[in-house]
Every structure is written in structure tokens, then in C-alpha cells.
């Protein structure tokens, strides 16, 4: 903009010279110098065009590695090696009263322990989308979409031939409408009195078993399937979502999410009083630009997700059935970290 002003001003200046009216060279140079000062003043007063940005994009990636090597170790133990990769991306849009945010959190980890071979120890994808219309600076009407699943099959170790989960088996999809309250940039609450939760089990083998709460297959007296199990289960109810994300100390960031769902419209009265819980807490400790440490804790309670139940009998661990239980996962590591953020 400054260059354009300068050029246009020079053109007007030169066009105003009449042939035959000679000017001294030093006078001309003085006029040009004054012109440059005027252009600088106009530029400093904001004559340039500001670029308005509506989008904010960001991505954080971590690769953690740990290894234990033991040889002739008198105290016992096994050698191990483990890798864990995590990716956290977001895109935010804000214009007038319209708000849109999408986040994708994904992680995958493998480990090799002694002679047991390679197994996965982390497998997660979590996609969230929120569309909002601001009524006040802290209150929005909002519509939410949440999708959770995994990448690769899971097995009932040590039996690595018994598949207990796959990609889209299960997959959870929640669509809801309600209000979002955001009193601070780092804290928000979303209450949706009208929500729909869909549980997908696209593996017919798992669906026939009634895995993750879907209706199992019907069998005759000889065990033959006469009606395949359903590959989905739909619930209507209310949901609550809360998220806290803030740097609580220098280079220490806490990101905590809480998802609650209650199927108040279920036919089974027993199911109406149950609340599905998914809580995730991530702590990131940044050492420098490329090194970081992370701690991740996830707690799940789902009345429809049955896990094996064991008892000790005669010194042996014996499975006595299945049932809902509080599920807990803890993952920590140190490794490489890269962060990217851009406004458009």
C-alpha cells in the first residue's frame, strides 16, 4: 500500500510540471523527500488494508519410545520395547455469531514384551464437531457430533486368535442439540437434553455374540443361527460434555474431557437410571521445542460393555462370567513432539 501511494503521488507530481518551467535539482529532491515522509505518515495511520482471519488451524504430534534390555539379570524381569504415536488436530471458525470447531484425537501404540511378540497397547480415535450460534459472549446454541472407534483388531490375550474388537466394532456416534456455556476461553460446558447415541458393531461375528450391547443372534436347539445379530443399537437420551484445556504452569498443559450420556427414553426401566461415562485426562510437559513428556488417563463405564470377570480358585485365575465394570487405562511416555498453529 505504501509503494502504491508513493508511485501515484510521483505521477501526480510529474504530471503537474509544465515544460519550460525548470526547477532546481535540489528542490526536486527535497519535494520527493517530503512526499516520502507524507506517505510514511499515512501508512502509520492505518491506510493499509487489514487481513481478517476467521479460521485457526493447529496440530500437535508426539512419538514416544521406551526400551528395557535385560540379560542375565539376577532380579528377574523381561526385556521390552514400546512405541506410542499421538496426533491432536483442531480447526476453529469464528465469524460474527457463528462458531464452528472440530477436533481429532488419535493414538496408536505397540509393544514387544519378552517372548510374547508384538501387541498393541493403545488404539483410539475421537472426532468431535461443534456448530454454535452465539446469543451472548458466553452462551451458544449448539449442535454436536461425536465419533469414537479404533484402527485395528483387538484380541483376548494371551489368545491372539480370539478377536474381541475391530475397526467400527465398536464405533460410537452421538448427535445432540443443546446449549454451550463457555465462561472462560479454556473451559466450556455443553448440555444437550436431546441426544441420539448409535452403537455400531459392523463385524457380524461380534454382533452375533451380542458384543457391546447390540442384540445377539437367535439360535436353535443345535446352536445354529436362525436370525443374525443386529449390527447397531440406537439410544435416545440426554448428554453432557465438559472440557478444560489450559497451561496451568510454564510448559505444563492439562486437557480434560468428560462425556456423560443417559438413555432416559429406553424401554428397559433399568437402563434409564444408568449413565455412560467417558473421562479423558491428558497432561503434556514440554521439555523444549522438540522433546516432551505426556500422561494420559482414561476412565470408561458403559452398562452395555461387558468385560470378563475373574475369581481366584485354588490359586488359579478363573473366568466366572462377564459384566459391566469400570474400565481404566493409563499411558505415559517421553519422546519427540511437534506443534503447528496457523490463522487464515
Secondary structure (H, E, C), the chain: CHHHHHHHHHHHHHHCCCCCCCCCHHHHHHHHHHHHHHHHHHHHCCCCCCCCCCEEEEEEEEEEEEEECCCCCCCCCCCEEEEEEEEEEEEEEEECCEEEEEEEEEEEEEEEECCCCEEEEEEEEEEEEEEEEEEECCEEEEEEEEEEECCCCEEECCEEEEEEEECCECEEEEEEEEEEEEEECCEEEEEEEEEEEEEECCCHHHHHCCHHHCCCCEECCCCCEEECCCCEEEEEEEEEEEEEEEEEECCEEEEEEEEEEECCCCCCHHHHCCEEEEEEEEEEEECCCCEEEEEEEEEEECCCCEEEEEEEECCEEEEEEEEECCEEEEEEEEEEEEEEEEEC
Q: Which residue has the cell 441420539?
A: 196
Find how far residue 286's CA is from the centre of its chain. Answer: 19
Cα–Cα dist 117/68, whole Å: 15
Q: Counting Cβ atoms within 10 Å, is residue 192 exposed (0-12), middle (13-18) or buried (19+)?
A: buried
Cα atoms in the Cβ-side hemisphere of radius 13 Å centred on 331: 27
- Res 63: pLDDT: 92
- Res 120: pLDDT: 92
- Res 34: pLDDT: 61
- Res 116: pLDDT: 79
Cα–Cα dist 31/226, whole Å: 97
Cα–Cα dist 176/174, whole Å: 7
- Res 19: pLDDT: 45
Which is nearest to 192 in space by CA: 148, 141, 233?
Answer: 141
Cell of 145: 457430533
Residue 287 phi, psi (nearest 5): -80, -50
Domain 55-343 -> CATH class: mainly beta
- Res 40: pLDDT: 57
Domain ranges in the chain with CATH number 2.40.230? 55-343
Cα–Cα dist 196/185, whole Å: 28
* pLDDT tens over the chain, length 344 residues: 444 444 454 444 444 444 444 444 444 444 555 655 655 555 555 445 556 789 999 999 999 988 888 777 777 778 888 999 999 999 999 999 999 999 999 999 999 887 778 899 899 999 999 999 999 999 999 999 999 999 999 998 877 888 999 999 999 999 999 999 999 999 999 999 999 999 999 999 999 999 998 999 999 988 899 999 999 999 999 999 999 999 999 999 999 999 999 988 877 776 777 899 999 999 999 888 888 888 999 999 988 777 778 788 877 777 777 778 889 998 888 889 888 888 87
Which is nearest to 143 in space by CA: 189, 188, 176, 169?
Answer: 176
- Res 10: pLDDT: 44
- Res 3: pLDDT: 47
Residue 204 phi, psi (nearest 5): -65, -30
- Res 32: pLDDT: 53
- Res 334: pLDDT: 87
68 Cβ contact partners less than 8 Å away, ≥ 6 residues apart:
77, 78, 79, 80, 81
- Res 169: pLDDT: 94
- Encode burial over 111-132: b for 16+ CB neighbours within 10 A, e otherwise: bbeeeeeebbebbbbbbbbbbb
Amino acid at each position: 500500500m505504501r509503494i502504491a501511494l508513493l508511485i501515484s503521488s510521483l505521477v501526480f507530481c510529474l504530471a503537474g510540471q509544465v515544460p519550460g518551467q525548470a526547477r532546481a535539482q535540489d528542490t526536486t529532491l527535497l519535494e520527493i523527500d517530503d512526499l516520502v515522509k507524507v506517505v510514511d505518515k499515512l501508512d502509520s495511520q492505518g491506510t493499509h488494508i487489514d487481513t481478517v482471519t476467521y479460521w485457526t488451524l493447529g496440530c500437535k504430534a508426539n512419538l514416544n519410545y521406551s526400551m528395557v534390555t535385560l540379560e542375565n539379570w539376577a532380579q528377574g524381569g523381561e526385556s521390552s520395547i514400546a512405541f506410542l504415536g499421538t496426533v491432536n488436530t483442531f480447526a476453529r471458525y469464528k465469524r460474527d455469531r457463528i462458531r464452528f470447531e472440530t477436533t481429532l484425537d488419535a493414538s496408536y501404540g505397540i509393544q514387544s514384551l519378552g517372548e510374547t511378540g508384538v501387541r498393541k497397547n493403545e488404539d483410539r480415535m475421537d472426532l468431535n464437531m461443534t456448530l454454535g450460534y452465539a446469543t451472548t459472549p458466553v452462551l451458544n446454541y449448539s449442535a454436536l457430533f461425536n465419533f469414537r472407534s479404533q484402527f485395528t483388531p483387538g484380541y483376548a490375550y494371551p489368545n491372539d486368535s480370539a478377536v474381541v474388537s475391530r475397526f467400527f466394532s465398536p464405533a460410537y456416534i452421538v448427535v445432540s442439540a443443546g446449549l454451550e456455556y463457555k465462561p472462560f476461553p479454556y473451559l466450556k460446558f455443553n448440555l444437550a437434553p436431546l441426544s441420539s447415541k448409535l452403537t455400531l458393531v459392523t463385524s457380524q461375528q461380534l454382533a452375533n455374540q451380542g458384543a457391546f450391547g447390540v442384540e445377539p443372534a437367535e439360535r436353535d436347539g443345535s446352536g445354529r443361527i436362525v436370525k443374525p445379530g443386529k449390527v447397531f443399537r440406537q439410544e435416545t437420551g440426554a448428554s453432557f460434555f465438559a472440557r478444560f484445556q489450559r497451561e496451568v504452569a510454564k510448559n505444563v498443559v492439562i486437557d480434560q474431557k468428560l462425556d456423560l450420556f443417559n438413555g432416559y427414553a429406553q424401554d428397559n426401566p433399568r437402563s434409564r437410571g444408568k449413565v455412560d461415562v467417558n473421562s479423558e485426562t491428558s497432561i503434556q510437559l514440554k521439555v523444549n521445542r522438540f522433546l516432551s513428556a505426556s500422561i494420559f488417563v482414561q476412565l470408561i463405564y458403559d452398562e452395555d460393555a461387558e468385560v470378563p470377570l475373574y475369581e481366584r480358585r485354588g490359586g488359579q485365575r478363573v473366568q466366572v462370567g462377564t459384566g459391566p465394570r469400570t474400565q481404566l487405562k493409563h499411558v505415559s511416555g517421553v519422546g519427540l513432539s511437534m506443534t503447528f498453529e496457523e490463522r487464515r
